[in-house]
Structure formats: C-alpha cells, structure tokens
Structure 1
C-alpha cells in the first residue's frame, strides 16, 4: 500500500466527451502504444506520447503529440507505460515528474515466474510517489485496432487505490470495453500470467484425444494390417489412410462423448455415498468436470472427420474394385443376388441412428457457444446439455451396436484374440448409460434430488458433530 503522505488522485471534473477533452499520456511508441493512441483519439481523447526520440513521430497516429518523457508527463494525469520491464530504468530518474500521477502498467513477461514480484509491483517501488494500476495487459493491439470486435472486450484492472482505478475504468469504458476489478495490486502477478496461458482447459482433453487416437490406431494397425501380413503374406498397408483412420475417429468421438457424462454420473454416486452435497469432490473429478465442454467439442470434431471419411467410401478405388470383382463373380457363376430383408433393416437402422446422433451432437456443440448459451435460461441449457446429451450418447451407441451386429459371435472376428475395434468403443458408453439408468430410477433419483436441494443424511451429520473436540 502507498504511504499516507501521497495525495489522493482527483478525477477530472469533465469527461472526454464534454467541452474540455481529457488528455492521456503514453510512454512508448511501439505497436501497442500506437494502437492505444489511435483508439483514444477515435474516442475523443487528446493523446500525447513520451518518447526518447521525439523527432521520430512518423508512425504515430495523426492528431497526437510527441515530446520528451518529462514534458509529456506534465500534460496528463493518467500515463500508460507501454514499455517492457527491462526498460523501466528511465522512470526512476524522473520520479519527481511522476509524483501523484497514475501509471497504468500494461506489460507482460515472456515466461511465467521470470521475476519474484510482478512488473506492476516492481514499477511501484521505482516510482513510490505515483499510483500504479495494472490494466490493459490482456488486451491485444489487434483488439484495439478492430474495436474489440474479436471477443477480446474485457479489461482486467487491479490497484491499491480505488480513485486511481476509477480513472482507468472510465478510460476503458470510454473505449468500449467492459471492466473487471480484480482487487489490489497483489493480483497483478495473476493478471500478468493470464496472457501466457495456452488453452489451459484444453490441455487434458487434447492429451486424452491424442492418446486415444494413437492407441486405437495402432490397435487397428496390428489387428488388420500386421495380422494380414504375418498370417497371409498380403500387403494391405494402403488401408491405413482411410480404413484405419475411419476406425479410430468414430471410436475416439464416442468414447470422448461418454467421458463428458461419466463424471456427472460418478458425482451423483459420490453424493449418494456421502449423503450430502456439502463435501468436496476429489481434485481429479473437479478438474474432469471443468473440461467437459472441451471434451465434447473435440469429440464433435472427430465425429465430423468420421462423417467426411464415410462419405468418401463409395469413391475409393479399393471399394469400387471389390464391387466390380463381386459383380463379375456373380455373372460368371450365374448366381443371383437375393434381397435380404434383415440386412436392409439393419443398414437403414444403422444409418438412421448415426444421422440422428450426429444431428443432436451438432446441436450440443452449437448450444455450447457463448453467443447461443447466453440466450438460454438455466433450465433450457440443462435440458439440451444433459437430457439431449444422454439421448445423443444412446443413439451413437446404438449406431455402433448396429454396425457390429452379430460380428462378436464369429470366431474369425477375434484376430490374434483381439476383439474388433467397435467393441472397444462400446465399453465406456455402456458403463455411462448403465450408471445413468441406475440414477434415474425413482428411488435413486428421489434421493439425489433431495441431496442436491440441501438434505443431508442424519447419521453422517451426527457422526461429524458427535466427534470429541481435540484439546
């Protein structure tokens, strides 16, 4: 916290859109500084740049002024420090010029944990007479240039002085951004780490997807290509490109869709076991539940690949060759191709379940988009993501069952004792559907509903309250 000797920052009496325009200073003439200055000018602010070389102003936005750092500091109450931490040295030499000024630190580091303290806290020690506010470090130069139309519209702000933060909040809102106050300057380290994160909620789902894809692909490679080479001496490696890929993609899609709903079922059974909802889930389950949306979207991407690969099957050289050979053999042997009513029902049902399942799968993906989910109330969103989600899983599982049909009964399907790939894909979905079926039975559903409404099992509660207090 700043010492009591520092005077309070007095907000300007007139806003930027009134008769007297507010002046904002920017230290730094790089990409971000120029983009910020242009946006400020477009919003009605006066902009003055502080530069070590005031004569070099060709790239600065038209209508702004450029002068030395000391002169520019006297022109404005709020100063944006658009320079990297390594170049903060000149600020300590002009500490007297920055007294009672609001310094907005917008810097980030290349790596997390590079320094012990945050850049904003370090800046506050260099210029103790100024008030440092951390803001705009999560906004890109592109967002400033495009007017915040790329969904990067939120400015995170933290600082020790409410009046200083309010000045920065007013500027951010004047530029058309929304603002979120993150508290004191001690939160600056958290804000500086945010731009360094690379898809934090996507890492676990991506690792699961890559692991499943590799596992299923090599399983199919061993069972089909390698087996045929070893036992019959035939080279069918060409099937790697389409056939094997189209076995891995639907398997991964179905398993990952089931993984979206498995943690919810496990959570229900944990609440039944604990007899209360006021007990934390294990950390692994919490992390799993937080990335369910990402698991579902990746599963949808694999489902799309499966659909595309399936559509090219009729035009494949291998498929056309097999059809021609079979047709010629029927002609040569003067054998007719009889219509199989059972096979017709099976194939039509197989395709129908696949189309319906994929259609609902796409609907789940669409409703997970923020622009769509924000237009739904909680009951509507829960109906789509939960009830329709389980229906989607059921249809996709039936699609897989109809694909396999009676293959599991044929010994020839178990090459080297390895079951077909489609059988592996059914394990997790069937487990999830069975668990859900148990949970929706009237007796179980009634208990889970009561627990989630706040009811607690008495013996559990009494066991906790009856424990003797330790001295």
Structure 2
C-alpha cells in the first residue's frame, strides 16, 4: 500500500510537464528560502528543478535537509531555464546581473518570480525593476516576498493566514503565479502592474509604522496626567505616602490617559465632518494631520483598551477598604470615659459592605470594559471578515459611542459625591472632572451631528452631493437662450423632413389629411415631427 504521507497535497492540471507528467517549476538558487519553496512546491504536487552554479555539490547538500527534497533535481541554471516556463528567482538582488545576465536568450518569454527584498527603504527602483532591466525579454512577476521561509515550510497551517501579493505588467503571468500561490495554500492579492513592487518591498521593511505616532502621543498624555496627579497628591497636599506611587497613584493617570485616548479615537471623525461641511464636498482632501489621525484610530482604540485592561487589573488588586475607603460603609466604635480619659474615644471601623457609589461605579465599569473588549475583538482581521458592513459599522460606530458614554458615567459616579462637597473651584481642579471634559465634548459633537438638519446635510455630501454644483443654477438669460436654440433646431428638422411620408400619430398617410400637425416624443425623448399636414 502506498504511504499517503508521501502523496502530494494537491494535483494540478499539466501545463508545462516535467518528470512523471507533473508541472515543472524551476528555482534559481539553493539557499534557505529556495529550499523552503522547493519543499512547499513538492508537497503541493509540482515537479521542482533547482538551478545552481555548482549543481553536483548542491545536490548532495540538499538531501541532508529533508527527505522531501529527494525527488528534487539540481541542475545548471541554463538547463533549469530551458526546462521550465515558470522560475522562482531566489537569489539576492546584488547577484542578478552577475548570475543571470548571460541567460538573456534562454529567459525569453519565461515567467520569472522575484522573491527578493531590499535591505533599506526608499530605493529609487525595486528589485523586480532591476531584474526586468537585466533580462528584458522575460516576464517578471513580483510575489512571495512577504512570506518568510518559516511560513513557507509550515505545512500545518497551509498558509491560510498568509497573503501573497502579486504584481506584474503581464496579466496572464499574474494569473499563473496566483494559481500557484493558491495551490500552495496562500491567499492572493493582485496589486496590478510591476510599479507596485516598490510598495511590496517597502511593506516588509516597515516596523510598526502605524503605531509610532499613537504610542508617542499616548506616552506624552500619560506623562502630563502623571505630573498633574503627583502635584495634586504630593506637592499641593500630602494625600498619599510615597510608597503608594507605583500602583495606587499611577492608577489614576492610567485611567485618565485611557479616557483621553478613547476620546481622541472618535474626535477626528467629527473634525472631518466640519471640514466637509465647510468645503461643501467630500472630494477635497483633508489636511495632512487629520488624514494621519483618521488612519490611526484603530491603533488609538487598541491602546485605550490596553490601558483600560491594566487599570481594571490594578483596581481589582487594590479593592479593599484600605485603598477605597469612601466606597465602604464606616462604623464607629465609641469607648466610654474612664479614669484615664476625660471624654469618650470614637474609632471609625470600615466594614466589608460597599456603598451605592462603589456598587454603581463597578457595575457601569464592568459593562464598559466587556463591551470595549468586544469592539477590540472585531479589530482582529479574522473576526472582522466574518461580519458584514452593517454589523461591523454597528459595533465600531454605535456601540463604541455607547462605551464612551458608559466610561464617562463610570467616572461621574465616582467623582460626583466629591464634586458636591468640594465646591466649584475644587471640582474644576479634580482629576475626575478634568478627565471627562474631552469625552463629553466628543459625545456632544456626536449628538449635534445626529440632529436631522446636519445629519441629512452630511449624508448628502458623503453620497456625492456638492454645494458648488447645486448653487450654480442656470440664470433666466440662459433659459431663454436654451429655448431659442431648441426652436431653431425644430425649424431645421422641419426643413430636412419636408415632403416625407412619415407620421408619428398612426395616420393612414393619405393625401390631404390634416389630422396631425404637432409632434410626439420618442422613447428616448427625441422629438419626432409629424408631416401629415404637408402631404
């Protein structure tokens, strides 16, 4: 019985047949990435031919890596190019000219797949462009450069979560390479012409490019709130001991930063609405800062979720009457007077029961945290792809503002009793009041833009309506000129049709009849003149 583990995962219809009637695909190079590609192609059902400058030395070397490569043939580069129509070029860009320049005739009409990457960003030309200049008669395709050698060899996942970007000036070649990638278990993203190769090579060199600004902004906001909290708690008055600065004190700016960042996640959409109302169109580009801000909303929201999670964990660890004295009922014990005391001694003792403020604040906070976690889960690509547009928009737009409202309510419940006792000046300077100013502004703007006049106006703009086009109505003089031009066109049409036996009213066309001397509109509103009266 044949061992099923040695059978290919997929069978392909033969196009370019190699040994055994299977499709033959060539690989130029015998390095780590070339070996990973050859393993994947072999297990997928392709016949692999590897081209090397020293084929005899490399063939024995490859057998040491894996038993999967026992059927891979290693030959010279020229022989590999002759036997295969689709070839992976798995060598460094610096070796393109030295290794392949002499094979210009052999690569005529061949599909060469460039899998290389640059070492530095902002290059004037892509590696694929360089390969096309070295071998102008070949069809160059940029693909697989975003797939690592480890992912290429990981057959357990079949590459289901990995995307292969494909770019080439030849649509047939793009389709061919896309079919190969799909048979290997990858998802294909067609990026069009070879100009996209610069983007593909630049993409793999970016390191958290969308996270830098949100992280630095969050770090700055956290430092500002921390300085204010330290000033209030230690400089202005000694409210806490210095030993409490690591958890009890820093938990306050952590919560304030989370509230501020969450508000900054939804504020740019309202600023964009103001710009669209001012411009009267959606076709005018936003300023650079707003464009970057809008693209960073996902990162800001996830950072806010992370800060809230840390705040919840810290608050849970400190949940006791010692840290949150105002949340618990206080019972007093009075010692009666005796010979050593002239008056009774009153000792406050905290019980384990939480008062209404603590209960309500915890309830609202738990709801806000759970819903915020649900919103964060929809940011995961696999989860977001399972939702349609209406479901995703309902969670990310409507539910997110409800979470912001719950977060503001959570802080208000905690701070309202203190605001009532402290007076207006103390309320304005309190950290709870200051932390909700920006979120309240965002909620207020949301309410304003939900009002029917503005809501309908913005909706028209975002559906393509433009204020300048609507206001440029024709004047009375323009209308009069249009009428004159139409009358001249009718007179000219009458002169051209004079004497013809055409009737648009269903008349019998007998001479002398004068049943119709008007006109009827055709199917496409073309005026057809009736000539019954002139016959």
**When the two structures are superposed, what TM-score results if normalisation uses the length of structure 2?**
0.74
The residue aligned with 1:59 is: 65
Q: Deviations over 1:267-287 (max 9, x none)?
A: 333333334434333332222
Q: Which has the larger radius of gyration?
A: 2
Structure 1 position 136 matched with structure 2 position 148: no
The residue aligned with 1:165 is: 174
Once the two structures are TM-superposed, the CA of residue 429 in structure 1 deviates from its matched residue by 0.2
Q: Distance in 2 between matches of 1:464 and 1:132?
A: 54
8 A contact 2:408–2:439 mirrored in 1: yes
| Pairing of 1:121-200 with structure 2 (within 5 A) | 121-147=129-155, 152-200=161-209
Q: Deviations over 1:194-227 (max 9, x none)?
A: 1011223222222222221222223323332344
Q: Give the secondary-structure state (helix, strand or coil) at the position aligned to 1:380.
A: helix
The residue aligned with 1:372 is: 383
Stretch moving more, 184-193 or 385-394: 184-193
8 A contact 1:413–1:420 mirrored in 2: no
| Pairing of 1:44-443 with structure 2 (within 5 A) | 44-54=45-55, 55=57, 56-57=61-62, 58-59=64-65, 61-88=69-96, 89-113=98-122, 115-147=123-155, 152-227=161-236, 236-314=241-319, 319=323, 333-335=345-347, 344-408=355-419, 419-443=429-453
Q: Give the secondary-structure state (helix, strand or coil) at the position aligned to 1:266.
A: helix
Once the two structures are TM-superposed, the CA of residue 240 in structure 1 deviates from its matched residue by 2.0
Q: Deviations over 1:63-94 (max 9, x none)?
A: 21223323333331211111111222221134
Q: Distance in 2 between matches of 1:389 and 1:280?
A: 26
8 A contact 1:73–1:97 mirrored in 2: yes
Stretch moving more, 239-248 or 298-307: 239-248
Q: Distance in 1 between matches of 2:259 and 2:79?
A: 65
Once the two structures are TM-superposed, the CA of residue 336 in structure 1 deviates from its matched residue by 6.4
Once the two structures are TM-superposed, the CA of residue 174 in structure 1 deviates from its matched residue by 1.7
**When the two structures are superposed, what TM-score results if normalisation uses the length of structure 1?**
0.83
Gaps of at least 5 residues in structure 1 are: 1-11, 466-471
Once the two structures are TM-superposed, the CA of residue 116 in structure 1 deviates from its matched residue by 2.7
**Residues 1:157 and 1:92: Cα distance change in structure 2 (over 3 Å):** same
Q: Distance in 2 between matches of 1:274 and 1:260?
A: 23
The residue aligned with 1:3 is: none
Q: Give the secondary-structure state (helix, strand or coil) at the position aligned to 1:93.
A: helix
**Residues 1:73 and 1:275: Cα distance change in structure 2 (over 3 Å):** closer
Q: Distance in 2 between matches of 1:224 and 1:373?
A: 43
Q: Distance in 1 between matches of 2:348 and 2:235?
A: 35
Q: Deviations over 1:88-127 (max 9, x none)?
A: 22211343443332221111012102x4321111112222
**Residues 1:212 and 1:338: Cα distance change in structure 2 (over 3 Å):** closer
Q: Give the secondary-structure state (helix, strand or coil) at the position aligned to 2:263.
A: helix
Structure 1 position 39 matched with structure 2 position 20: no
The residue aligned with 1:4 is: none
Q: Give the secondary-structure state (helix, strand or coil) at the position aligned to 2:429.
A: coil
Gaps of at least 5 residues in structure 2 are: 1-12, 336-343, 476-535
Once the two structures are TM-superposed, the CA of residue 407 in structure 1 deviates from its matched residue by 3.0
Q: Deviations over 1:164-197 (max 9, x none)?
A: 3333222112212222222222222121111011
Once the two structures are TM-superposed, the CA of residue 149 in structure 1 deviates from its matched residue by 5.3
How large is the Cα RMSD of the aligned pairs?
Answer: 3.5
Q: Distance in 1 between matches of 2:424 and 2:233?
A: 11
Q: Distance in 1 between matches of 2:412 and 2:325?
A: 28
Once the two structures are TM-superposed, the CA of residue 15 in structure 1 deviates from its matched residue by 7.2
8 A contact 1:349–1:402 mirrored in 2: yes
8 A contact 2:160–2:186 mirrored in 1: no
Once the two structures are TM-superposed, the CA of residue 430 in structure 1 deviates from its matched residue by 1.0
Q: Give the secondary-structure state (helix, strand or coil) at the position aligned to 1:62.
A: helix
The residue aligned with 2:490 is: none
**Residues 1:150 and 1:23: Cα distance change in structure 2 (over 3 Å):** closer
